């Protein structure tokens, strides 16, 4: 699991673009800002290949098939 910490004025879309451009395996990710919000310890948090931490809120990303 990787965690991307948003910095400064970075938005969720900026974070997703950065992750997609810099993934070591060339994978692409997506997420729904409403559905994929998760909490430390819940199933989505534990099983996500990548998490975004945006203003102390976590979002679980999914690999684009």
pLDDT, tens digit, 9 for 90 and up, residues 28-42: 999 999 999 999 999
What is the share, in percent, of the chain residues with pLDDT greater than 90?
A: 97
Mean pLDDT of 1-16: 96
Q: Which domain holds residue 52?
A: 2-63
* Cα atoms found within 13 Å of the Cα of residue 41, Cβ hemisphere only: 0
Considering the entire predicted model, what is its pTM?
Answer: 0.93
Q: What is the per-residue pLDDT for 46?
A: 96
Count how many domains the chain has: 1
Residue 65, pLDDT > 90, answer no
What does the alpha-carbon distance between residue 8 and residue 5 come to, in Å, rounded to a whole number?
10
Is residue 1 scored above 90 in pLDDT? no
Instruction: Report which of residues 65 and 63 the model is more confident about.
Output: 63
């Amino acid at each position: 699991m990787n965690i991307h910490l948003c910095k400064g004025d970075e938005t969720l879309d900026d974070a997703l673009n950065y992750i997609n451009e810099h993934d070591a395996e060339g994978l692409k990710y997506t997420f729904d800002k409403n559905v994929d919000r998760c909490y430390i310890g819940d199933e989505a948090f534990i099983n996500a290949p990548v998490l975004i931490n945006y203003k102390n809120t976590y979002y679980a990303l999914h690999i684009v098939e």
